[in-house]
Structure 1
Amino acid sequence: MSVLEDARDGDGAGRRQVGRAIVGHLRHNPFTSAGGIIVVVLGVVAIVGPVVVPHDPTTQTLQNRLQAPSLVHPLGTDQLGRDVLARIVYGARYSLGIALLVTAIRVVIGTGVGLVAGYAGGWIDEILMRLVDIQLAFPGLVLALVVAGILGPSLRNVMIALAVVGWTTYARVVRGSVLSIREREYVAAAKLAGTPRRRLFRRHLLPNVVNPVLVIATLNLGTVILATAGLSFIGLGAQPPTPEWGTMLSDGRNHLRSAWWIVNAPGVAIMLTVLGFNLLGDGLRDALDPRQQTKLEEV
């Protein structure tokens, strides 16, 4: 039996068991630990970095343009003389903030739809799941590209586009969990006791979908950062002079041979960030449901 199933009675002992499983996996799995370290470092950089970095990310100093990495500019300068390190640090705040906000919106919408569909059943479930299926018929990034193109280029519109197209995974997973939980004895007993529906959701259903939602959300954070950078790269996201990683890649692509550091720095930042969230998400999944790890090892 998985830790996920052991904790589904919603009591404190189950939650403590989940916490111990996650901490134990972080200690004993080097890949999960590496992912956790990367995520923590990213958070520290996003919060503290702008205070420590001496250069302004938008200040243009043309006499310093295209300078190679040095003690004054550890990651060099771009074609307008802006410090690349400062832009990377400030870009971490944009990337992480957008990813957290978009993922939070996805979680709220998807979890709400999944809870209602799984608990209500019948025609309500049928209508909601058909809407989910219709949206899943389109590739997520393509649909986000269309929405962002219609709304116009800006970070706000990119966040709206990514939030609108990404909630369906949560809805399907939460619905499946609710379908397996709603017929259990303690839920049936709560219904017979006349427990209000709101309390039933809060006390018995919602705590039992937290674990799978947490895993999906962790993996989604990296995906959102990558998608945001991609949309900014093609001009639909952040606009100059905003120090966003995708915009930095777009600005530096014409100097790839003569000033490689302009592109390499944001590229490495995106790669490490996505890798960190993916490693951490995989570790959380394996800790909460070891059977998933066994299935992967058998493939």
Structure 2
Amino acid sequence: MRKALGFDLGGTKFAFGVVQEDGTVLGSGQVETLAEKGAAQAVQRAIVAARDVLTQLNFKPSDLVGIGIASPGPLDVGKGCVTGSPNLPGWDNFPIGGEIAKAFGLPVRIDNDANAAAVGEHRFGAGKGKHDMVYVTLSTGIGGGAIVNNRLMRGANGNAAELGHLTLDIKGPKCPCGGNGCFEMMASGTAIKRFARAALTAGRTSAIATQAGGIDKVNARHVFAAAQAGDALAQELVAHEIEYLARGFAVIINTFNPERIVVGGGVASAGEWLLGPVRTRALALAFPRLASACDIVPAALAANVGVVGAAACAFEQVGS
């Protein structure tokens, strides 16, 4: 069975793994990114550590069909580099893909991390068997990737499906992208935290701050826990979250007409308690004929989604 090497580049860790064509991770590891020290040192340490894993598995680079890299965007996929990622300051235009290709002598494909996750979920996870699906990650921010007719939609320069920047409320908070009321400004984990802290600072009575150990420590997990315990403010915040997630998903349904939306990320780990009402509301908001063709389900790959998704991109590149 064919094998590929997947790298998952993040602001704090650079993970990697050898992945079989059925999605099985045969061996894996990670190094600290130490992003502030620059790209060269992180890439070199990841290469050395990945070689060690190959050695432990008694594999040579020639036993692999290719390499995939999942990275925060935006990217220049042609040059294999990051261009202006807030998580990787100072990494612009460093040839991550080229350096890794040279080290292993294999073809390399670099993709936005959410796009890679979409390919992984489509090939191995909750989107398997679906011709048209959209992956949405709900975490600190919101990202996504779209599979259209069994192929990843990349767009003109490889940065398609920036779902976190769908405009949901033109009077909403200013986004660093320059827009107002972007999806991630209204419904990400960071947004939940911001709305909660603002309400508490304004004097709203709630157990959220006590549970968190102070207003400045409040995050989405505290809000969800308090809501489930019956806290009134927390329940208001969750109702707001459900409404804006549903609006975002409805726009996605109306735009892509997917068979399935696969939802991953930390916020999504709240489970059916959150996803159930979001699903009901989103399908009610979307155009009925499109809504009737779509379901909304949790992701299946969990913690391995970056590495497995990157490897899936490598398999896609070399073909069947």
TM-score interval w.r.t. the shorter chain?
A: under 0.3
More strand by share: 2
The alignment's TM-score, normalised by the length of structure 1, stands at: 0.28
Structure 2 length normalisation: TM-score? 0.26
Identify which of structures 1 and 2 has the higher relative contact order when contacts are C-alpha pairs closer than 8 Å and 6+ apart. Answer: 1
